[in-house]
Amino acid sequence: MDYVMRSVRAEEWPLARQLRLEALQDPAAPVAFLESYEEARGRPDSFWQDRTASAAEGRYVRQFVAESPEGEWVGTVTVLIERPDDDVRFGEAAEVDQAHLVGVFVRPEARGAGVTDALFRVAVDWAWSLSAPRLERVRLYVHENNPRAAAFYRRFGFVPSGQRTPMPGERGEWELEYVIERG
């Protein structure tokens, strides 16, 4: 695998926008993302500029991308740092300082090539490297009807915590929390 895993740069917001819109058109998008393609496509450039700048420079959010030898982005994951006194973005409130992985996407042509593993390694390693705050766990949510993602998360070392949260809207579906505790 000749892909480079790295943080986004603020000026790369058009690429971040493009990859997000592509992710939201993936057949798995309805069970993988809370945002729709239409919502994301309608956001102004300033939204994408701010979002990418925060994910490039922020202490409490970091977006990683997988870049092919030709410079094409083929995957991404974002790490959000959550603290017990933070507002809840999704799911249960943090009881400890923790990381929350969101926005996981790998282009179909790069799946099965180790890209997702490499993205998760860099994201989880970055989370564990923080000293202030020192994180106690990394979590993510997976839709109950997304067995492919759940299998990957278990293989990577995440385990179901037993917590679940309803999907937004009136669909009657659940997101299941998976965690890795600091060892």
> What is the CATH T-level fold of the domain 4-181, as seen in this structure?
Aminopeptidase (3.40.630)
The answer to whether residue 169 scores a pLDDT higher than 80 is: no
Strands lying side by side in the sheet with 159-166: 4-7, 61-67, 73-82, 98-106, 137-143, 174-181, 159-166
The answer to whether the CB of 98 falls within 8 A of the CB of 139 is: yes
How buried is 72 (Cβ within 10 angstroms: 0-12 exposed, 13-18 middle, 19+ buried)? middle
Whether the predicted pLDDT of 181 surpasses 80:
yes
Q: Model pTM?
A: 0.95
Chain position carrying tokens 């729709």: 36
Q: How far is CA 18 from CA 22, 23, 126, 137, 182, in A?
A: 6, 9, 24, 31, 34
pLDDT given for residue 58 in this prediction: 79
Mind listing the pLDDT tens digit for each residue in 32-88?
999 999 999 999 999 999 999 999 987 899 999 999 999 999 999 999 999 999 988
Per-residue pLDDT tens digits for 5-40: 999 999 999 999 999 999 999 999 999 999 999 999
What are the domain boundaries of the chain?
Answer: 4-181
